[in-house]
């Protein structure tokens, strides 16, 4: 008698989380935006102050950037209809790569269609069997997924901990190739990578160092060059990754490094070879945004004034904002249901924010993730703080759950790290068994 195959779609029929949230009236995702004006958006005819965007410098709606994107579209069309390797390289791509290499003071740069692809393509291509990737446990999902695609062994270490990194490194085979990967700014907590001590530890074991500058480009460092330049370590960090979907107001990503490494990726990174290249509008718009970012340092200065105002304002009200050091300000709420409810009430009061729940954050530590732009006005920010203070009185601030629901880890890395510190090397390092992204 033939055994019936399990229906792959049964999990889809069993999935109820979104339906339950919708039924209770506080489903917070896939909200439709009808118009975008940078610091505010229009939804169903209502104005909402946008504090859920990564448009840090407000360049996504800059008329000069929009016009440059339009000019590129008129010159090259709506798309390139091919990969970079074949028919999909236009002059704007080469110009943008050269401009970025000059800006970041690197030998060469390679563009990818998304930041996710940049991480996935580089991590999977640069490592091989027998190598080890050391990964901060709060790294972005694109890094985690890139590590899953890589043939190397994946070893997590405690967030921002040079001592934990050293403990992991000393347990690896001396002859193994080693790559240490970290975010420059962590997208949920908003804290900055403690790069100097981690770099020192990594180099003492002969490891290469890879920094994802997605949320630090345009935010930190001279002229917005990122966290590597912020610490003055450009000559010591081997690989820099970045995106265009934050400060540069568009989409896409890149890898920057030495010329030989970039030449290798051009011919080995499957995420580059087997997908269409950046649309002309993106390349043209990003080129202009990069130019404006360098010519108008007052944007970054205003961004930091706004950031300090919000840090101080939330603390005054009594919210917990964790260890953030940047325009990413997580408001610690606690339970997932309350985070959804808080987000819905913000929306009703004219503030567009987004919740983050497990596994993006630890279970029981749900947040309302807020982030700020150079183009937010004092009136915008005062109104946001006023609404948060009103809702703090209405709903309370942080609920600290007394327990973790059985079967749900605080964080998908925790069991590996705890096991490692108890002496179980295999559990800590395992195979690439990451069934969830952490961010």
pLDDT at residue 362, as a whole number: 86
* Domain assignment of residue 180, yes or no: yes
Q: Are residues 33 and 104 in the same domain?
A: no
Say if residue 285 is in the same domain as residue 301: no
CB atoms < 10 A from the CB of 275, how many?
17
Q: Do 37 and 93 fall into the same domain?
A: no
Query: What is the predicted pLDDT for the residue at 360?
Result: 86
Q: Are residues 329 and 198 in the same domain?
A: no
Residue 295: per-residue pLDDT: 98
- The number of CA neighbours under 13 Å toward the Cβ of 336 is 17
Q: Give the domain-ending residue among 295, 312, 335.
A: 295
Distance CA 435, CA 437 (A): 7
Peptide bond into 359 cis (omega under 30): yes
- Looking at residue 368, which CATH number applies to its domain? 3.90.1150.10
Q: How far apart, in Å, do the first and last CA atoms of the chain sit?
A: 45
Give the contacts of 110 (CB within 8 A, at least 6 positions apart): 97, 254, 255, 256, 262, 265, 266, 269, 272
DSSP letters spanning 69-90: HHHHHHHH-S---S-TTTT---
Domain around 370: 16-50+297-404
308 and 287 within one domain? no
Each residue's pLDDT expressed in tens, for the chain with a length of 439 residues = 677 889 999 999 999 989 998 998 889 999 999 999 989 999 999 999 999 999 999 999 999 999 999 999 999 999 999 999 999 999 999 999 999 999 999 999 999 999 999 999 999 999 999 999 999 999 999 999 999 999 999 999 999 999 999 999 999 999 999 999 999 999 999 999 999 999 999 999 999 999 999 999 999 999 999 999 999 999 999 999 999 999 999 999 999 999 999 999 999 999 999 999 999 999 999 999 999 999 999 999 999 999 999 999 999 999 999 999 999 999 999 989 899 999 999 999 999 999 999 888 888 899 999 999 999 999 999 999 999 999 999 988 766 543 344 344 444 334 334 444 444 443 333 333 332 333 3
Question: What pLDDT is stored for residue 395 in this prediction?
Answer: 87
Cα separation, 336 vs 358, whole angstroms:
8
Last residue of a domain, one of 295, 328, 344: 295
Is position 367 within any domain? yes
Residue 240 and residue 109 share a domain: yes
Q: What is the pLDDT of residue 412?
A: 35
Do 157 and 137 form a contact (C-beta atoms < 8 A)?
Answer: yes
Domain count, the chain: 2
End residue of a domain, out of 295, 326, 355? 295
283 and 157 part of one domain: yes
Rounded to an integer, what distance in angstroms lies between the CA atom of residue 194 and that of residue 202?
13
Longest CA–CA separation in the chain, Å = 74
* pLDDT, position 363: 85
User: 355, 346, 357, 335: which is closest to 385 by C-alpha?
Assistant: 346
The verdict on 253 and 328 lying in the same domain is: no
Instruction: Flag whether 375 is in a domain.
Output: yes
Q: Is residue 436 part of a domain?
A: no
Q: Is residue 301 domain-shared with residue 227, that is, in the same domain?
A: no
Q: State how far the Cα of 420 lies from the Cα of 291, in Å rounded to an integer.
A: 47
The residues, ordered by sequence, that sit 6+ positions from 396 with a Cβ below 8 Å of its Cβ are 338
**DSSP-assigned beta bridge partners for residue 211:** 182, 240
Quickly list DSSP for 95-137: HHHHHHHHHHT-SEEEEESSHHHHHHHHHHHH--TT-EEEEET
Q: What is the CATH number of the domain that holds 268?
A: 3.40.640.10
Catalytic residues: 187, 215, 246
Selection from 280, 372, 374 nearest residue 330 by Cα: 372
Q: Are residues 267 and 303 in the same domain?
A: no
Residue position matching structure tokens 């229906």: 7
Both 99 and 156 in one domain: the answer is yes
Give the span between the Cα atoms of 159 and 212, in whole angstroms: 15
Structure tokens at 312: 């101080």
Q: Which two tokens stand for residue 112?
A: 């990818």
Clarify whether residues 45 and 147 are in a common domain.
Answer: no
């Amino acid at each position: 008698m033939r055994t019936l195959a399990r229906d792959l779609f049964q999990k889809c029929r069993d999935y109820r989380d979104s339906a339950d949230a919708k039924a209770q009236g506080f489903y917070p995702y896939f909200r439709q935006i009808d118009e975008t004006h940078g610091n505010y958006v229009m939804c169903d005819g209502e104005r909402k102050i946008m504090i859920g965007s990564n448009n840090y410098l407000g360049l996504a709606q800059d008329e000069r950037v929009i016009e440059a994107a339009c000019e590129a579209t008129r010159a090259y069309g709506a798309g390139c209809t091919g990969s970079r390797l074949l028919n999909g390289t236009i002059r704007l791509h080469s110009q943008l790569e050269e401009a970025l290499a000059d800006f970041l003071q690197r030998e060469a740069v390679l563009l990818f269609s998304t930041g996710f692809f940049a991480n996935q393509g580089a991590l999977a291509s640069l490592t091989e069997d027998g190598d080890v990737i050391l990964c901060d446990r709060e790294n972005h999902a694109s890094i985690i997924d890139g590590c899953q695609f890589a043939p190397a062994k994946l070893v997590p270490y405690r967030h921002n901990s040079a001592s934990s990194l050293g403990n992991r490194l000393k347990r690896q085979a001396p002859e193994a190739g080693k790559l240490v990967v970290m975010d420059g700014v962590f997208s949920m907590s908003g804290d900055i990578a403690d790069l100097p001590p981690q770099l020192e530890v990594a180099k003492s074991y002969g490891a290469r160092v890879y920094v994802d500058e997605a949320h630090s480009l345009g935010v930190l460092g001279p002229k917005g060059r990122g966290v590597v330049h912020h610490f003055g370590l450009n000559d010591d960090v081997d690989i820099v990754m970045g995106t265009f979907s934050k400060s540069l107001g568009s989409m896409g990503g890149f890898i920057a490094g030495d010329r030989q490494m970039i030449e290798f990726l051009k011919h080995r990174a499957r995420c580059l070879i087997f997908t269409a290249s950046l649309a002309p509008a993106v390349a043209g718009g990003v080129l202009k945004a990069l130019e404006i970012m360098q010519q108008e340092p007052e944007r970054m200065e205003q961004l930091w004034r706004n950031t300090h105002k919000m840090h101080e304002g939330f603390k005054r009200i009594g919210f917990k904002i964790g260890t953030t050091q940047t325009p990413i300000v997580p408001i610690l709420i606690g339970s997932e249901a309350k985070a959804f409810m808080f987000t819905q009430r913000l929306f009703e009061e004219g503030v567009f924010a987004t919740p983050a729940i497990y596994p993006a954050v630890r279970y029981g530590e749900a947040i309302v993730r807020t982030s700020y732009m150079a183009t937010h006005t004092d009136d915008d920010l005062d109104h946001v703080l006023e609404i948060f203070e009103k809702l703090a009185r209405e709903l309370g601030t942080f609920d600290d759950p007394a327990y973790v629901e059985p079967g749900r880890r605080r964080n998908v890395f925790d069991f590996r790290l705890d096991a490692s510190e108890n002496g179980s090397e295999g559990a800590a390092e395992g195979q690439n068994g990451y069934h969830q992204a952490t961010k």
